[in-house]
Chain A
Amino acid sequence: MIRKASLMVFACAALFAAETKSAKEKDMCSPPPGSIAPALPAHLMQGQGDIHFAITTANSEAQKFFDQGVAQMHSFWANEAERSFLQAAALDPEAPMPWWGVAMVAAGDYRPRHQLERDTPAKPGAKTKPTELKGGPLRAQEAALKAVRLSEVSGKATELEKLYIASIAARRQAKDPNEAYIAGLRAVLAAHPDEVEAGTYLALHLMRGYTLPDRAPREGTMEAVNLLRALAVKFPGHAGVHHYIIHGWEGATFAAEAWPSCERYPQLVTNIPHALHMPGHIWAQTGRWTEGEKSFQDAAVNEIGYMKADALYGNYHHAHNIEFLITTYGFDGKYDEAVSAARGLMEFAENPRQAADLDDSYTAYRMGWFGLMRTLVTFEKWDAILDGKTLPVLDKPREQSWRHWALGVAYANKGNARKARGEYKLMEAALKEFPAKVDKPVPPPLKVALEELAGQIAVAQKHTEKGLKLLAEAGTHERALRYTEPPSYPRPVLDALGKRAAIAGKADIAIAAWQGALEQTPGDPRARKGLNSATQRTASGIE
């Protein structure tokens, strides 16, 4: 009898394993390009954003697909943008600019600079050799070379087009691609100051975000902010301008200034999930929960339509969107809605590759599981956490660690310090084994969680001062975690500290904690309510 296992070639498995491993370290806010080029044909679609970027082509259809590609690129829909550019190239094989488009999107680095730097921190001395490129980055490099070659044919490219091509070719070839790209875009703007396209690309690549926890702009960020402010006045109907304002302002102390763009962007781009989703980032971090929920709900409806239409659409971005919706419901006090949304994600079965991955925390199921755990802790559903049923056991190292944390916090808040201590030990052991099991360091949020649990246990043991101090330290460390949306920590530690301190009669600590929580998440209703109550009690002399 023939042995049946392990004989058939897994045609795509290795390729996708590599793709997934690199994608794992990123949030899924913008769907990445595929490791392989999208198949043709592309179709002209409604609601992609009204962008016109005139190029040298006699083929009007090629121009339409090129415009669509640029519009889709402005909404970070890399795969569809690449498909549109490839369609334009197929319609006019001699036109260089469609290949410029492929060179722009295929590498997956057409995103805010702060995201790129967060996902791939610079390693001193690390070099990327062209021969090491594969997948999207290789496609991008080859496309840049092709664009250059086609642009050298007489009459096939204007001087402006050549400048655009030179900028992306420099990015794909230079030793310092960031500086080369920025210099290339500045050269476009020097010759053509009103080029909105170059302006938006430059702003996107200058924005390096804000430091944490103080939210100070990093080098380049304010230049991007000011550039976009100017572009918004000159080009109020440009989808990219409004999209990048949202990205440039998120995480800033002045994030609320992006509200007009949050209104405008989804009006301009009605049929790309990321465009509908993205305003929710600003709404949520500025306390406008209802608007945030609507953004995420609209994005979900739009995206589910695409998912139903195409079995290969995937669900990573949908999962990210719903995870953000769950978090927003949590802040907005909507327990049932949050649980329902989390359980909705948990209905997505993991495919065999995902199921075999010990730490793919971005599968829809695992994001749903985390959303459910986040919700139960946020709403202090201690009995539900402890019933052993509401939060199913997920036998993966990361989720097992979080489960021990949730159980420990629940026991501590129920006053059972002994059992909480038991969960602490289990969590500690799980984290000790984590690097060996999954070949990664312990995720920083879990380190903070262990600190918080220690504080919760100390409070439960009546070691109040020590416990509050530990919680305060955990809160500080949580606020220094890398910037992610939604926050990678289940709920603000400072919310828990405020409540614990208030119960212990430590009004000054409670007030400071809630003030910090409101700095961290403006509009945090629990912090606001707690702060109001503590302030009133202090003012009336109750304390």
Chain B
Amino acid sequence: MLLLSGCARHFQVDGMVLRVNTQRRAVLISHRDIRGYMPAMQMEFGAAKQEQLNTLEPGSRVRFRLAVSKRGSTISHIQKTAPAAEYPREQPPRPAVGAAIPDFILVDEQSLPFTLSGLRGQVVAVDFIYTRCPLPDVCPRLSANFRRLQRRFGDRVILLSITIDPLHDSPEVLARYAKLWNADAASWHFLTGTPEAIDTVARSFGMFYFPEEGSLTHTTATAVIGRTGRLAGIVEGPGYAVSQLGDLISAELEGK
């Protein structure tokens, strides 16, 4: 969207933060098409004000104003775009980017024990779903996104889909679900466990969920974990562009 103001050209832009460089007052963003200016791509932008970067981290979905003039381009009015909750709640703290993710032991769709620490040295993406989620824009969308990531990255990235409905989502149920999504068993794992174990893992990612009549109300979080087991970024909500999540993973793979 083009905004006119003075001599500079202004655009409203949506994107996902990949890296924040506070020393250079810059932020690497995977952005959507900027109509009339440039197609969707990864790009580093200089911020007009340092303090606008303070709340950003990899995975943050943002909307901002891009000003382009003869002297260069800067971004301002940076807003996180995830909507606020409908009602107040106590939410588990979300892990900080760079924090070590606690190890866990769950069970995969083949009924085999599965540990996070066993993936050390690999880049891992984690989301939380439940197989009977009937909202096409939530869990099925997350799984569709992982399917696209698997096509893009193959076994260079390990995908973990952890159920938040463990009493229903047994390994057998998860195996059927994996088949539904054509998941490659070598690199996309579907995990379940006791409700207590699942709750512990979900809380360690800041997930919040509870049962309602006929479904689970839940937040969504898709995390990218680096080779050292530290959180590289966390994406809120199911409405992200899968290409942007892919860019976040690429950045981690390439060590940007």
Given A10-B86, A34-B134: 7 more A-B contacts, CB < 8 Å: A4-B91, A7-B236, A8-B221, A11-B135, A15-B135, A79-B214, A312-B132
Check if B238 sits within 8 Å of A13, measured CB to CB.
no
Residues on the B chain within 8 Å of A39, using CB: 131-134
A2 touches B212 (CB 8 A): no
Contact residues of B: prevailing secondary structure = loop
Determine which of A1, A7, A36, A312 lies in contact with B80 in the assembled complex, contact meaning CB atoms within 8 Å: A7
Contact B217 A11 (CB under 8 A): yes
CB distance from B127 to the nearest CB of A (A): 12
Whether A38 pairs with B214 at a CB distance below 8 angstroms is yes
Asked if B213 contacts A314 (CB within 8 A), the reply is yes
Name the 9 nearest CB pairs between A and B, nearest first.
Answer: A9-B237, A314-B213, A356-B87, A39-B132, A8-B219, A13-B86, A34-B214, A6-B84, A351-B210
Residues of B within 8 A of A8 (CB): 82, 85, 91, 94, 206, 208, 219-221, 236-237
Q: Does B88 belong to the interface (CB within 8 Å)?
A: yes
Decide if B165 is an interface residue (CB 8 Å cutoff): yes
User: Which residues from A are CB-within-8-Å of B220?
Assistant: 8-9, 11
Interface residues in B215-235 (C-beta closer than 8 Å to A): 215-221
Residue on B nearest A31 in the bound complex, by CB:
B213
| A17 in contact with B55 (CB, 8 Å) | no
Q: Measured between C-beta atoms, what is the minimum distance from B105 to chain A in Å?
A: 22
How far, in whole Å, are A311 and B210 apart by their CA atoms in the complex?
Answer: 10
> Across the interface, which residues of A come within 8 angstroms of B113, CB to CB?
none
Contact of A4 among B84, B93, B212 (CB under 8 A): B93
Give 7 A-B contacts (CB < 8 Å), ordered by A residue. A2-B55, A2-B96, A8-B85, A11-B237, A15-B135, A34-B215, A314-B213
Q: Which of B93, B167, B206, B217 contacts A12 (CB 8 A)?
A: B217
Contact residues in A for B256 (Cβ distance below 8 Å)? none
- A12-B135, A15-B135, A39-B134 known; A353-B215 Cβ under 8 A: no
Chain B CB within 10 Å, residue with most, of A1, A7, A39: A7
* Cβ–Cβ < 8 Å partners of B206 in chain A: 4, 8
Contacts of B96 in A (CB 8 A): 1-2
Q: Is B211 an interface residue (CB 8 A)?
A: yes
Contacts of B87 in A (CB 8 A): 13, 17, 352-353, 356-357
A312–B135 CB distance below 8 A: no
Residues of B within 8 A of A13 (CB): 85-87, 217
Contacting residues, chain B, for A14 (C-beta < 8 A): 86
In the complex, which residues 320-357 of chain A have their Cβ closer than 8 Å to any Cβ of chain B? 351-353, 356-357
A351 with B214: CB separation less than 8 A: no
Q: Which residues of B contact A9 (CB under 8 A)?
A: 82-83, 219-220, 236-239
Tell me whether A123 is interfacial, beta carbon within 8 Å: no
Residue from B85, B94, B138, B214 whose CB has the most chain A CB atoms within 10 Å? B214
- Complex CA–CA separation, A29 to B57 (angstroms): 49
Q: Which of B88, B221, B239 contacts A356 (CB 8 A)?
A: B88
| Residue in A12, A310, A356 whose beta carbon sits within 8 Å of that of B218 in the complex | A12
Distance in angstroms from A423 CB to nearest chain B CB is: 30
Tell whether A127 is near chain B: CB-to-CB under 8 Å.
Answer: no
Q: Is B24 an interface residue (CB 8 A)?
A: no
Interface residues on A, range: 35 or more
**Chain B 3-24 per-residue mask, 1 if CB under 8 angstroms from chain A, else 0:** 0000000000000000000000
B168 contacts the other chain (CB 8 A): yes
CB contacts (< 8 Å) of B84 on chain A: these are 6
Inter-chain CA distance A79–B214, complex, in Å, is 8
A131 to chain B, nearest CB (A): 19
Whether A3 sits at the interface, judged by CB under 8 Å, is yes
Contacting pair B82 A312 (CB below 8 A): no
Interface string of B67-95 (1 = CB under 8 A from A): 00000000000001011111111110110
Q: In the complex, A63 Cα to B175 Cα: how many Å? A: 29
Query: Which residue of B is nearest A17, CB measured?
Result: B86
One digit per residue, 1 when the CB lies within 8 angstroms of any chain B CB and 0 when it does not, for chain A 301-312 equals 000000000111
Taking the closest CB of chain B, its distance from the CB of A197, in whole angstroms, is: 27
Contacts A9-B82, A11-B238, A13-B85: A351 and B211 contacting too (C-beta < 8 A)? yes
- With beta carbons under 8 angstroms apart, the residue of A5, A7, A16 that contacts B212 is A16
What per-residue 1/0 map shows which CB atoms of A176-189 lie under 8 Å from chain B? Answer: 00000000000000
Most buried by A among B88, B213, B215, B216: B213
A481 lies within 8 A of chain B by Cβ: no
* CB of A37 within 8 Å of the partner chain: yes
Contact present for B167 and A311 (CB under 8 Å): yes
Asked if A316 lies at the interface with its beta carbon under 8 angstroms from chain B, I say yes
- Nearest-neighbour CB distance to chain A for B175, whole angstroms, equals 15
CA distance A6 to B97 in the complex (A): 17
Bound: A272/B158 CA distance, A: 44
Instruction: List the A side residues contacting B97 at CB < 8 Å.
Output: 2
Give the complex CA separation of A291 and B138 in angstroms.
46
